[in-house]
Amino acid sequence: MNEHENDFLSAFEQKMYIVQKDMRDLKEKASVERIKAKQEARLVNLERERDWYRKEVIELDHMNKDHKRVLYEMKTRLESVSEDKDFLH
């Protein structure tokens, strides 16, 4: 009876060791998956932010071109008015 009890305890300890090892492995895998999910969420957030900045840059570039066009037109008018002023004097 004692021998059977020792065999049973030995088998139980081996099985518990395997179960504990599997649990550690699964916890580690879950931790890795959590980290991957956080990184993916951060990546998605950064991509959204990048897209927003890209859109803002395009809008600002259009505004800059419009302002340059208006400035060029104003310079041209100023030169024309200046020439007319010089001619009249």
In tens digits, the chain (89 residues) has pLDDT values of 888 899 899 999 999 999 999 999 999 999 999 999 999 999 999 999 999 999 999 999 999 999 999 999 999 999 999 998 888 88
Q: What ranges do the domains of the chain cover?
A: 1-89
Per DSSP, helices labelled H in the chain are 2-88
Tokens 């071109």, located at residue: 65
DSSP 13-30: HHHHHHHHHHHHHHHHHH
Q: Which two tokens stand for residue 17?
A: 């060791």
pLDDT on residue 2 = 84
**Model's pTM, two decimal places?**
0.59
For residues 65 and 89, what is the distance between their CA atoms, to the nearest angstrom? 36
